[in-house]
Amino acid sequence: MNFNEKLINLRKSKGLSQEELGADLKVSRQTISKWESGQSYPDFQRLVLLSDYFGLTLDELVKDIDVQEVREKNINSDKIDSIYNDMNTAKSFIKWYLIIAGAAAGVVLILILHFVYNAMFNW
């Protein structure tokens, strides 16, 4: 039995809703839902809380978890975080580039207007 199936069975055997279990573990109902659907896995601290909550050893709780799948999901999460950070860096770079380019264009425009003004009225 997979972890997510085991968690569903344990929760239902205690007659708990996802919201009630989440409240007891100090996580959201959506987090419990993701654990039960296999979209994510609890961190180690939450696994310990779950094992204590249901009176199981960690081994009993997590036995049959596909460790490779957990690693892949963590790697994917790290990649997404890295992409997000790269996007924020790029946004910041573009913002400063536009500010500097706009300031330079403003200076050039002022110089052009100054020379045009001098050419028209001082000759």
DSSP state of 39: S
Question: What distance in Å separates the CA atoms of residue 55 and residue 110, rounded to the nearest whole number?
Answer: 76
Domains along the sequence of the chain with CATH: 3-65 (1.10.260.40)
The model's confidence at residue 67, banded by pLDDT at 50, 70 and 90, is low
Which residue pairs from 36-39 have beta carbons closer than 8 angstroms and sit at least 24 positions apart in sequence? Answer: 36/4, 36/7, 36/8, 36/11, 37/4, 38/2, 38/3, 38/4
User: Taking the CB of residue 57, how many other CB atoms lie within 10 A of it?
Assistant: 10
Is pTM beyond 0.75 here? no
Question: What distance in Å separates the CA atoms of residue 38 and residue 33, rounded to the nearest whole number?
Answer: 8
Task: Give residue-wise pLDDT tens across range 21-57.
Answer: 999 999 999 999 999 998 888 999 999 999 999 998 8
